């Protein structure tokens, strides 16, 4: 009975090591290396603390990724709620002990670095919901009593993040969670109804938005309305990308970057800089790397032997996709500038940590999904 | 507890199915992103590339070098010289007060400079250089260079600035340049199109009227700039085109002597080549140092200049208007002869005064000239005789001749300051004053008083047109071979024709003259000859008005007409008191005028000397002319070397 329901606990290290997804590891490392060069380029070829920090973080969290990979998936299953609540506590902590920067309070000072709990929540919410829906049959997912907890599990952190204020991360947390709920079996019509309700609620939401957020949305609709103010970022980003052309201006030759026209070039606009220097070809290749990573995560999810792992992998793959697409769409002028980093590429410790954590659990589910059979 | 899926469970299938749907959607979204990338980077690439270039590059115009003005002999009159400037980069200055303190020890730097600089710093970007001083002396400049390493944020720069002769001999004619003002920009579309910081524009004189061609084309430096507008590096540098150089007809030596002769006096001198029209000298006095305007004249000096009653800023040679006085008598005589109103033998009795309709008209000579004929009347400048001539001639016929000889019209068309003067006619009076002409005014016109107004350059031109045999010569101030050549060719033709005429006694073909732009101003050449002969008498025969200033040597011998232009009506009491000019207060004294041509035997130059409140023409103006004529004649041989000679045989 026991053997039927559980993974084989007794894999030796060699087996564990061999069941690592080396393609995924290779792709993540590749992305990491590309990001080193991109961050280095933001500093116009000077090796400054940005590049240095980024490299340290990447490798530190890469180690975290490997450690998590070798941790039993059941540990993560068991700790799912704890992880979620701890992250939630940190989010509350931000309200009280948070560090402010450029008008918003998002960070907790951990001495070594400033942690952004909202980034961790991106992964925590997926873990939480994957565990929650683990035992719930698909048809039950549409029952109200099974819907309330997930809804609150999403709304509470989202509300906290919005008040920081950080609309971008809040939206990413929410969409990540909603994807898992849908995958778990909630009928599409409820999403449709919610969407209608949301549209109706827009006027009230707008009333609650901060002035700068309103400006961002208006600016998205017409960037030229304020070319030197809020629309500046988007216009300069489009100029940088557009001027890249087919092959790009060449590494370290992005004039928009070099001359400080690019805003937030280390973080949210790293793709702009990359795209200016490597052009259409480079951008499509980068997109391909992301697509392959997502494909690998989905593939791991497909062979997962249990609901938790499957939901988690699919959820994380989808969330990861959303992060990538929202960031790119944003710098390409397809979405408003909301402040969403490009996973792994962007400079930032918390987002790197949360992504490595996310991949670690994916890898863990692969390693510990092996060796047990359905029969 | 974490458990595997049961084989029968369809939850896994549902999740997989939904994930498949999601993956399809993801692919579609990726496609949208790629499409967008394609649109921005491939389709709209050119647009964004140009926008990026525009972002990247910024241009700074550089002031061009002004063209040089040379005199007839190639001496530079308005040139560009090195000046020592001190620039400051505000962003590199650690403490502005300390900098100012140090500067005040090293260079001429006072409170006013301090206020000016602080104001400039406020309005400029910190990386834009600010000119602290643009005209340091060499000692200041070298002192600065010694202490340069101790003072941060300043940079000594060797720049270029306009330079003029310091004695001010060309200040009126050449004018000066100064910073472009708001008014200049409003008035000139050309200036607006080329304006760059640091550009200087001509304010008066030739610098102003030649400005558009002399200023040159600005160059530019293209810099890569960052998002804040700071220059990162120079990408391209295109040097501006220096402005056109000009050569003028003036002889600096004559000009300098003329300036010296006028020191302490208020007036002007014009000297002209009677054939080519070249203006050899044109001086106005008192003058000023044009260099002071280049770096911004101080308030005190400016006030001193504009409050001076002798009006140093006015170019009196072209913008001073005076009644021509007796200098017009040759024209009155010529007009009368040409119109057959009188014959040279007309005899008039001068008793010193005549009465007309109860009004007395006086001759300058109280005792009168007794019975006098035309030649003597010109020679001795008898007013009574010319009252009679004018009465017979009428003002309109006089005006026609005066205009032909250059009065009442702008002599030059290059200087904006030039004034027209006035040749009165009956129509003019009716139109402008609204009253009919009276005979007394005709009489006054006959001695160049009344409404008559003329500029010194017009008087000079009048004498030139008389002395060259009565041809319409046009004054030239800008010298260039292309316009001079045909003029010389025409005169050569004219002289050779005259030569042949004497030989063969054939009538000259008058059509040729008009074709060659040599317009005859006379009807009968004998009349011109008569007037010139009378002028010879005025200078070279006893009783002539300028006899005291004559030269005996043929080389320098000249003939001229004095004039004394009254600026007030002399009252009966004053006449009885026999007040001499020197007894009158300065501003009530008459203007002294003299016009002449030289050498008499082979005339080449005409000149006019006008001394404001200088007394009589014979005492105030003719002696100055005498000194100048010698110089002009002496300089002729050098001038001859510079251009083709008029006479082929000589």
Q: Give the angle B40-B43-B44 at the CA atoms, nearest 5°.
A: 55
Mutation for A interface: B11, B58, B231, most A CBs within 10 A: B11
Final residue of a domain: which of B248, B265, B285? B248
pLDDT interval class at B495 (50, 70, 90)? confident
- Residues from chain A contacting residue B5 (CB–CB below 8 Å): 305-307, 374
Same domain, B215 and B260: no
Q: For A48-67, what is each residue's pLDDT tens digit?
A: 888 888 999 999 999 999 99
User: Which residues of chain B neighbour A325 with C-beta distances below 8 Å?
Assistant: 26, 29-30, 33
Chain A residues closer than 8 Å to B55 by CB: 236, 239, 255-256, 259, 261
Task: Determine how many CB atoms are found less than 10 A away from the CB of residue B428.
Answer: 17
What's B150's domain CATH number? 3.90.1310.10
Percent of chain A residues past pLDDT 70, beyond the cut:
91
Cα separation, A58 vs A347, whole angstroms: 10
Higher pLDDT, B348 or B12: B348
> Is B449 in the same domain as B587?
yes
How far is the C-alpha of A9 from the C-alpha of B362, rounded, in Å? 142
What's the CA gap between A9 and A3, in Å, rounded? 10
Q: Which residues make beta-bridge pairs with B270?
A: B282, B608
For residues A239 and B52, the answer to whether their CB atoms sit within 8 Å is yes
Is the CA virtual torsion B388, B394, B395, B400 positive or negative? negative
* CA separation for the pair B548, B561 (Å, rounded): 12
* Pair (B315, B180) in one structural domain: no
B243 and B301 share a domain?
no
Inter-chain CB pairs, A–B, below 8 Å: 153
pLDDT, one tens digit per residue, over B416-457 is 889 999 999 999 999 998 888 998 899 999 999 989 999 999
**Helix, strand, or coil (residue B353):** strand
Spatial CB neighbours of B288, under 8 Å, sequence gap ≥ 6: B168, B171, B305, B312, B313
Given a contact cutoff of 8 angstroms between Cβ atoms, the answer to whether A17 and A66 are in contact is no
Residue B118, domain member (yes or no): yes
* Cis peptide leading into residue A165 (ω within 30°): yes
pLDDT at position B508 over 60: no
Q: Which of A188-192, B215-219, B471-475, B584-588 has the lowest mean pLDDT?
A: B584-588
* Rounded-to-integer distance, Cα B236 and Cα B223, Å: 7
* Residue A134 with chain B: CB contacts under 8 Å: 2
What are the tens digits of pLDDT across the range A233-261?
A: 888 888 889 998 899 888 888 887 777 77
Query: Any CB–CB contact under 8 A between B21 and chain A?
Result: no
pLDDT above 60 for A14? yes
Whether residue A168 contacts residue A216, with contact meaning beta carbons closer than 8 Å, is answered with: no
Alpha-carbon span B464 to B275, nearest angstrom = 8
B23 touching chain A per CB within 8 A: yes
| Residues B457/B317, Cβ–Cβ less than 8 Å | yes
B450 sits in which H/E element: none
The alpha carbon of B57 is separated from its chain's Cα centroid by a whole number of angstroms, namely 41
Do residues B533 and B337 lie in contact, with contact meaning Cβ atoms separated by under 8 Å? no
Residue B506 lies in a domain: yes
- Residue B278 pairs in a beta bridge with B476
Specify whether the CB–CB gap between B311 and B365 falls below 8 A: no
d(CA B405, CA B380): 22
Residue B542: helix, strand or coil by DSSP?
coil
| A375 Cβ contact list (under 8 Å, min separation 6) | none
Find the residue in A nearest to B224 (Cα). Answer: A259
Q: Which two tokens stand for residue A51?
A: 């590049």
Strand-strand pairing, B605-611 and B591-598: antiparallel
ipTM of this predicted structure: 0.89
- As a whole number of angstroms, the distance between CA A292 and CA B23 comes to 12
In this predicted structure, what is the pLDDT of residue B253?
A: 92
Identify whether residues B161 and B272 lie together within a single domain: no
In angstroms, how far is CA B253 from the centroid of its own chain?
19
Residue bearing tokens 């009565």: B470
Q: Where are the beta strands (DSSP E) in B546-639?
A: 559-565, 591-598, 605-611
> What gap in Å lies between CA A273 and CA A262, rounded to an integer?
8
Answer yes or no: is pLDDT of A227 > 90.
no
Q: Can you list the positions of beta strands (E) in B437-578?
A: 478-479, 559-565
- Show Cβ contacts of residue A295 under 8 Å, excluding neighbours closer than 6 positions: none
Residue B39 domain-assigned?
Answer: no
Which of A182, A314, A332 is opposite residue B37, by nearest beta carbon?
A: A332
Q: What secondary structure letter does DSSP report for B553? A: S
Last residue of a domain, one of B194, B218, B248: B248
Residue B419: predicted pLDDT: 92
Beta strands in B145-193 (DSSP E): 154-163, 177-179
* Chain B residues close to A282, C-beta within 8 Å: none
In a domain, B170, yes or no: yes
Distance CA A254, CA A238 (A): 13
Identify the residue whose tokens are 């006449």. Answer: B575
| Nearest by Cα to B252 from B464, B414, B69 | B69
Mark whether B305 and B394 lie in a shared domain.
yes
**pLDDT, tens only, B182-211:** 888 888 888 888 877 778 889 999 999 999
Whether B369 maps to a domain, the answer reads yes
> Within 13 A of A293's CA, how many CA atoms are on the CB side?
29
Contact A362, A312 (CB under 8 A): yes
In this complex, is the C-beta atom of B37 within 8 Å of any C-beta atom belonging to chain A?
Answer: yes
pLDDT in tens, B290-328: 988 887 788 888 999 999 988 999 999 999 999 999 999
Checking if the pLDDT of B632 tops 50, the result is yes
> Containing H/E element for B557?
none
pLDDT in tens, A66-88: 999 999 888 999 999 999 999 99
Is the confidence at residue B463, as pLDDT, over 90?
yes
Q: Quick check: A73 and B16 CB within 8 A? A: no
SS (H, E, C) chain A: CHHHHCCCCCCCHHHHHHCCCHHHHHHHHHHHHHHHHHHHHHCCCCCCHHHHHHHHHHHHHHHHHHHHHCCCHHHHHHHHHHHHHHHHHHHHHHHHHCEEECCEEEEEECCCCEECHHHHHHHHHHHHHHHHCCCCCHHHHHCCHHHHHHHHHHHHHHHHHHCCCCHHHHHHHHHHHHHHHHHCCCCHHHHHHHHHHHHHHHHHHHHHCCHHHHHHHHHHHCHHHCCCCCHHHHHHHHHHHHHHCCCCCCCCCCHHHHCCCCCCCCCCCHHHHHHHHHHHHHHHHHHHHHHHHHHHHHHHHHCCCEHHHHHHHHHHHHHHHHHHHHHHHHHCCCCCCCCCCCCCCCCCHHHHHHHHHHHHHHHHHHHCCCCCCCC
Alpha-carbon gap, residue B535 to B544, rounded angstroms: 9
Is the confidence at residue A298, as pLDDT, over 90?
yes
Q: CA B161, B162, B168, B169 torsion: positive or negative? A: positive
Q: Which residues 6+ apart lie within 8 Å of A192 measured at CB? A: none
CA distance A226 to A219: 7
pLDDT of residue A43: 80
> Which residues in chain A touch residue B2, judged by CB atoms under 8 angstroms apart?
5-7, 73-74, 77-78, 134, 306, 308
Q: What distances in angstroms separate CA B348 from CA A264, B373, B389, one per listed residue?
A: 104, 7, 9
Mean pLDDT lowest among A310-314, A332-336, B171-175: A332-336
Query: Could you write out the DSSP letters of every residue in B467-490?
Result: HTTSB----B-EE-HHHHHHHHHH
Q: Are A100 and A141 in contact (CB under 8 A)?
A: no
B51 touches chain A (CB under 8 A): yes
Here the tokens at position A139 are 């048809």
Helix (H) or strand (E) holding B367: none
Residue B361: name the closest of B383, B382, B390, B379 by CA. B383
CB atoms A298 and B55 under 8 Å? no
Whether the per-residue pLDDT at B216 is higher than 90: the answer is no
Owning domain of residue B340: 252-642
- The answer as to whether B45 is a domain residue is no
Q: What is the pLDDT of residues A139-180, one digit of tens each?
A: 788 888 888 899 999 999 998 888 877 888 888 999 999 999
**Mind listing the pLDDT tens digit for each residue in A252-286?**
888 877 777 777 778 888 999 999 999 999 999 99
Q: Is B118 on the interface with A (CB under 8 A)?
A: no
Mean pLDDT is lowest, of A232-236, B224-228, B309-313, B609-613, for: B224-228
CATH code of the domain covering residue B630:
3.40.710.10
pLDDT in tens, B153-162: 787 777 788 8
Reference A243, options B271, B57, B582; nearest CA is: B57
* Helix, strand or coil, per DSSP, at residue B5: coil
- Do both B200 and B262 map to the same domain? no
Predicted confidence at residue B513, as pLDDT, reads 44
- The answer to the question of residue B15 being in a domain is no
Q: How many CB atoms lie within 10 A of CB B368?
A: 18
- Give the per-residue pLDDT at B142: 84
* Domain total of chain B: 2
The tokens for B483 are: 């316009």
DSSP B475: -
The dihedral sign for the CA sequence A185, A189, A195, A197: negative
User: B276 and B252 in contact (C-beta within 8 Å)?
Assistant: no
Tell me, yes or no, whether B173 and B279 share the same domain.
no
Instruction: Show which of B248, B273, B298 is a domain's final residue.
Output: B248
């Amino acid at each position: 009975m026991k053997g039927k329901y559980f993974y084989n606990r007794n894999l030796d290290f060699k087996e564990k090591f061999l069941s690592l997804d080396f393609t995924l590891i290779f792709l993540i490392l590749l992305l990491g290396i590309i990001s080193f060069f991109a961050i280095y380029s933001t500093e116009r070829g000077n090796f400054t603390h940005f590049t240095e920090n980024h490299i340290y973080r990447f490798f530190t969290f890469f180690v975290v990724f490997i450690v998590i990979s070798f941790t039993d998936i059941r540990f993560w299953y068991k700790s799912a709620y704890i992880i979620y609540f701890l992250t939630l506590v940190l989010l509350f902590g931000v309200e009280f002990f948070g560090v402010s920067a450029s008008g918003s309070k998002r960070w907790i000072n951990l001495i070594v670095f400033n942690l952004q709990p909202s980034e961790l929540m991106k992964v925590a919410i997926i873990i939480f919901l994957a565990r929650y829906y683990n035992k719930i049959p698909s048809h039950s997912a549409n029952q109200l009593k099974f819907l309330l907890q997930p809804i609150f599990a999403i709304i509470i952190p989202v509300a906290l993040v919005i008040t920081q204020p950080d609309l971008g991360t809040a939206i990413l947390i929410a969409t990540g969670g909603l994807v898992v709920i849908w995958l778990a079996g909630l009928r599409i019509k409820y999403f449709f109804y919610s969407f209608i309700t949301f549209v109706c609620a827009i006027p009230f939401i707008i009333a609650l938005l901060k002035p700068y957020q309103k400006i961002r949305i208006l600016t998205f609709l017409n960037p030229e309305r304020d070319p030197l103010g809020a629309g500046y970022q988007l216009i300069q980003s489009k100029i940088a990308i557009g001027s890249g052309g087919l092959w790009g201006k060449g590494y370290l030759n992005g004039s928009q970057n070099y001359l400080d026209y690019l805003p937030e070039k280390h973080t949210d606009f790293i793709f702009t800089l990359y795209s200016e220097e490597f052009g259409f070809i480079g951008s499509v290749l980068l997109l391909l790397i992301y697509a392959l990573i997502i494909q690998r995560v989905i593939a791991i999810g497909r062979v997962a032997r249990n609901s938790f792992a499957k939901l988690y992998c699919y959820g994380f793959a989808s969330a990861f996709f959303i992060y990538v697409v929202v960031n790119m769409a944003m710098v390409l002028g397809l979405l408003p500038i909301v402040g969403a980093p490009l996973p792994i590429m962007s400079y930032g410790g918390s987002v790197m940590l949360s992504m490595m954590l996310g991949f670690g659990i994916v890898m863990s589910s692969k390693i510990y999904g092996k060796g047990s059979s359905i029969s | 507890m974490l458990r595997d899926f049961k084989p029968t469970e369809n939850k896994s299938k549902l999740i997989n199915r939904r994930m498949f749907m999601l993956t399809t959607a993801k692919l579609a979204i990726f496609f949208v992103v790629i499409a967008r990338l394609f649109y921005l980077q491939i389709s709209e690439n050119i647009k964004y590339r140009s926008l990026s270039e525009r972002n990247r590059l910024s241009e700074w115009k550089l002031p061009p070098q002004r063209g040089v003005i040379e005199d007839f002999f190639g001496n530079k009159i308005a040139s560009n010289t090195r000046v020592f400037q001190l620039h400051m980069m505000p962003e590199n200055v650690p403490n502005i007060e300390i900098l100012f303190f140090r500067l005040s020890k090293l260079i001429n730097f006072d409170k006013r400079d301090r206020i000016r600089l602080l104001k400039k710093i406020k309005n400029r970007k910190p990386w834009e250089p600010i000119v602290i001083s643009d005209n340091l002396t060499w000692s200041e400049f070298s002192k600065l260079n010694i202490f340069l390493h101790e003072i941060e944020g300043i940079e000594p720069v060797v720049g270029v600035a306009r330079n003029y002769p310091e004695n001010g001999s060309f200040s009126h004619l050449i004018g000066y340049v100064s910073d472009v003002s708001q008014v200049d920009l409003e008035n000139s579309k050309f200036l607006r199109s080329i304006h760059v910081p640091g550009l200087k524009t001509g304010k008066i004189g030739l610098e102003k009227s030649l400005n558009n061609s002399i200023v040159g084309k600005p160059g530019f430096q293209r810099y890569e700039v960052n998002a804040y507008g700071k220059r990162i590096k120079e990408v391209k540098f295109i040097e501006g085109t220096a402005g056109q150089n000009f050569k003028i007809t003036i002889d600096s030596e004559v000009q300098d002597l003329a300036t010296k002769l006028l020191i302490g006096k208020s007036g002007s001198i014009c000297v002209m080549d009677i054939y080519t029209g070249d203006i050899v000298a044109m001086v106005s006095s008192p003058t000023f140092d044009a260099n002071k305007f280049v770096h911004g004249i101080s308030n005190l000096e400016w006030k001193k200049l504009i409050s001076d009653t002798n009006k140093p800023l006015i170019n009196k040679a072209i913008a001073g208007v005076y009644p021509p006085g007796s200098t017009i008598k040759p024209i009155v005589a010529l007009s009368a002869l040409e119109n057959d109103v009188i014959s040279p033998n007309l005899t008039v009795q001068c008793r010193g005064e005549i009465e007309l309709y109860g009004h007395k008209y006086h001759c300058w000579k109280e005792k009168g000239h007794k019975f006098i004929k035309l030649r003597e009347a010109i020679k001795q400048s008898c007013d009574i005789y010319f009252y009679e001539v004018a009465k017979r001639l009428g003002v309109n016929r006089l005006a026609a001749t005066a205009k032909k000889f250059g009065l009442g019209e702008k002599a030059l068309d290059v200087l904006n300051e030039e004034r027209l003067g006035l040749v009165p006619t009956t129509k003019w009076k009716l139109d402008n004053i609204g009253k009919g002409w009276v005979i007394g005014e005709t009489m006054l016109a006959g001695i160049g008083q009344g409404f008559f107004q003329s500029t010194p350059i017009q008087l000079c031109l009048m004498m030139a047109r008389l002395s060259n045999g009565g041809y319409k010569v046009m004054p030239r101030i800008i010298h260039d071979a292309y316009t001079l050549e045909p003029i010389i060719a025409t005169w050569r033709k004219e002289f050779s024709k005259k030569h042949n005429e004497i030989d063969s006694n054939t009538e000259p073909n008058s059509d040729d003259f008009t074709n060659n732009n040599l317009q005859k101003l006379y009807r009968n050449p004998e009349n011109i000859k008569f007037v010139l002969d009378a002028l010879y008498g005025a200078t070279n025969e006893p009783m002539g008005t300028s006899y005291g200033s004559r030269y005996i040597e043929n080389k320098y011998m000249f003939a001229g007409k004095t004039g004394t232009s009254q600026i007030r009506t002399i009252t009966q009491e004053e006449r009885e008191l026999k007040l001499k000019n020197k007894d009158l207060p300065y501003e009530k004294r008459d203007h002294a005028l003299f016009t002449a041509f030289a050498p008499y035997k082979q005339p080449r130059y005409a000149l006019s000397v006008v001394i404001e409140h200088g007394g009589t023409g014979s005492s105030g103006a003719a002696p100055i002319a005498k000194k100048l004529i010698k110089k002009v004649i002496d300089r002729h041989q050098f001038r001859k070397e510079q251009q083709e000679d008029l006479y082929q045989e000589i």
